[in-house]
Structure 1
Amino acid sequence: MNQLVLSVPAISCGHCVKAIAESVGEVPGVGSVAVDFTAKTVVVTGSADPAAVRAAIAEAGYEAAE
């Protein structure tokens, strides 16, 4: 499985974590999603298209960087 690690500097609360995890979890090919509030990262495993993962994060209202 592939692993994608993205920095999301705007993660600031539990709501952010939940919103991002739910949005990214709906992307086809995502095996698992781990949103780390402290490190401000999103780690996605699976075969999902990285552009689709970034788009899902944007739909949740956040901007992702690598």
Structure 2
Amino acid sequence: MNGKGAGVGKQMIEFRHLRYFTAVAEELNFHRASERVYIDPTPLSRTVRDLEERLGVTLFVRNPVAWL
């Protein structure tokens, strides 16, 4: 054991990532989710994209017309 704990070599997921992801998943809309967590839509979207990059998966398919 190197004493650094879990996630060595990976970026850790922060609570805000999960909070914002949950809001978007429940609202299915970045604008409504941003109002729910009291943050502007742009940083909310950036944080969710950061979470996707940290996990190495696409969590939401972004489409300006409809959610897929």
Structure with greater helix share of residues: 2
Structure with greater strand share of residues: 1
TM-score (norm 1): 0.34
**Higher Rg:** 2
Structure with the larger RCO, 1 or 2 (CA within 8 Å, 6+ apart): 1
